Amino acid sequence: MIDFGSLAGTGWAAGLNLWSATLVLGIAGRLGWADTPEAVQRTDVLIAAAVFYAAEFVVDKIPYVDNVWDVINTVIRPVGGALLGIAFASDGGESIIAGALAAGTMALTSHGAKATTRAAINMSPEPFSNIAASVTEDVASVGMVSLALAFPEAALVLAVILALVAVAITVTLWRFVRRLRNGWKKRAQGFAEST
């Protein structure tokens, strides 16, 4: 039987930071703190997750560079979330498809909110908001995975609520950024016509 709490929680966390989610799952399984998929406990997976987490930890705090990183991860995080879902859905058959869809969808929603929020944050010139957002995302990712392992039912409820909020944030910020960009274009055209 599929544990949708673990799937939803880890999928949501993977959308924020796939590498920290994978690392926490792997370490928790290795140390016997939780029953996690064997695939995330492998040494090569843990090393790769640690290296990519270290890279993301640095890149995620640099304005505009974090946007490029998010664009690259638009495919990686949801696919990684889906792969975590497959790893958790060990029953085979339809459960693997359900696991991949559940975790991948949750990862896509949290990634969408993260990427659009970061695009909005980068409109301010100071770097401190990027650092605060990055640290908050890391804590939220690790916290959600921990909650999913300890209290899957609570993680399911929280992940669904956060996914709905993420969709609302993504839509709202996307519209805001688009309006702002169109305003800049109109000002630039007006300036070009006046000179």
Banded model confidence at residue 149, pLDDT cuts 50, 70, 90: very high
- The whole-number pLDDT of residue 92 equals 61
Q: In the predicted model, is pLDDT for residue 135 greater than 80? A: yes
Banded model confidence at residue 124, pLDDT cuts 50, 70, 90: confident
Least confident range from 30-44, 55-69, 79-93, 135-149: namely: 79-93
- Is the distance from CB of 9 to CB of 156 less than 8 angstroms? yes
Number of domains in the chain: 1
73-83 pLDDT tens trace: 999 999 999 99
Mean pLDDT of the chain: 90
Banded model confidence at residue 195, pLDDT cuts 50, 70, 90: low
User: Which domain does 143 fall in, by range?
Assistant: 4-194
pTM confidence score? 0.86
Q: In the predicted model, is pLDDT for residue 91 greater than 70? A: no
